[in-house]
C-alpha cells in the first residue's frame, strides 16, 4: 500500500516546501500554510474516513483564485441587499471581507471517501502569533469579515460551507 505524507517546512525566507514521497516543490507562502489533516486531533471539518493529501502549486493557485472569487460574490451579495444594510446598519461595514489576498490562509487538504480532493481554508485578516498559525488551526469567535472559512472540492471546483464570523 502506498501512502502520501505531507508536511511543510518553513525556511527563513518565508518559502515553504510541500513534500510528499514523489517530489519536493518550493511554494512561496508568506500568507498561507498547509496543515496536515488529523481527525483525532480535532480536525472535524472533514469526514472521519478522509485521508491527508498533498497539494501541487497549481492546486494552491486554483484554491487562492476560488477563495477570491467567492469573497467577491459574498461582498457583492451584501451590497445588493438593502434589508441587510438596514438590519445591520451599526456594523454593516464590519461584515465585509476587505483585501482577501492579504489574509493569512490555513489550508487542510484531504482525499474524501469518494476519492475526490477537498480542502478546508481558514482565512484570518490578522494573527497574533506568526509562527503558531503555521502549525495549528486558529479558532476565532466574532470579528465579522476579519475571519472566514470555506471548503472547496478541487475535483469538481465546487465551493461550499462558506462561513463568515459574526460580529461580537
| Alpha-helical runs (H) found in the chain | 57-79, 82-87
**Number of domains the chain contains:** 1
Condensed to tens digits (0 to 9), the pLDDT of residues 106-157 reads 999 999 999 999 999 999 888 876 658 888 887 776 566 678 999 999 999 9
Judge whether 1 lies within some domain: no
Residue of 6, 19, 8 lying closest to 51 (CA atoms): 6
Judge whether 52 lies within some domain: yes
Judge whether 137 lies within some domain: yes
Condensed to tens digits (0 to 9), the pLDDT of residues 12-41 reads 333 333 433 333 343 447 888 898 887 655
Phi-psi region of 161 (alpha: psi -120 to 50; beta: other; left: phi over 0): left
Which residue segment(s) compose the domain that 124 sits in? 7-164
Question: Is the pTM higher than 0.85?
Answer: no
Amino acid at each position: 500500500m502506498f501512502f502520501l505524507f505531507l508536511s511543510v517546512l518553513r525556511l527563513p525566507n518565508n518559502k515553504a516546501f510541500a513534500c510528499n514521497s514523489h517530489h519536493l516543490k518550493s511554494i512561496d507562502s508568506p500568507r498561507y500554510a498547509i496543515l496536515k489533516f488529523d481527525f483525532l486531533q480535532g480536525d472535524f471539518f472533514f469526514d472521519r474516513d478522509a485521508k491527508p493529501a498533498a497539494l501541487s502549486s497549481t492546486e494552491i493557485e486554483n484554491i487562492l483564485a476560488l477563495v477570491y472569487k467567492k469573497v467577491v460574490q459574498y461582498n457583492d451579495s451584501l451590497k445588493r441587499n438593502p434589508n441587510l444594510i438596514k438590519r445591520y446598519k451599526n456594523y454593516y461595514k464590519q461584515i465585509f471581507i476587505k483585501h482577501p489576498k492579504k489574509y493569512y490562509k490555513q489550508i487542510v487538504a484531504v482525499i474524501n471517501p469518494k476519492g475526490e480532493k477537498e480542502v478546508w481554508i481558514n482565512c484570518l485578516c490578522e494573527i497574533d502569533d506568526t509562527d503558531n498559525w503555521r502549525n495549528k488551526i486558529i479558532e476565532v469567535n466574532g470579528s465579522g469579515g476579519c475571519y472566514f472559512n470555506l471548503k472547496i472540492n478541487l475535483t469538481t471546483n465546487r465551493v461550499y460551507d462558506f462561513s463568515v464570523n459574526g460580529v461580537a
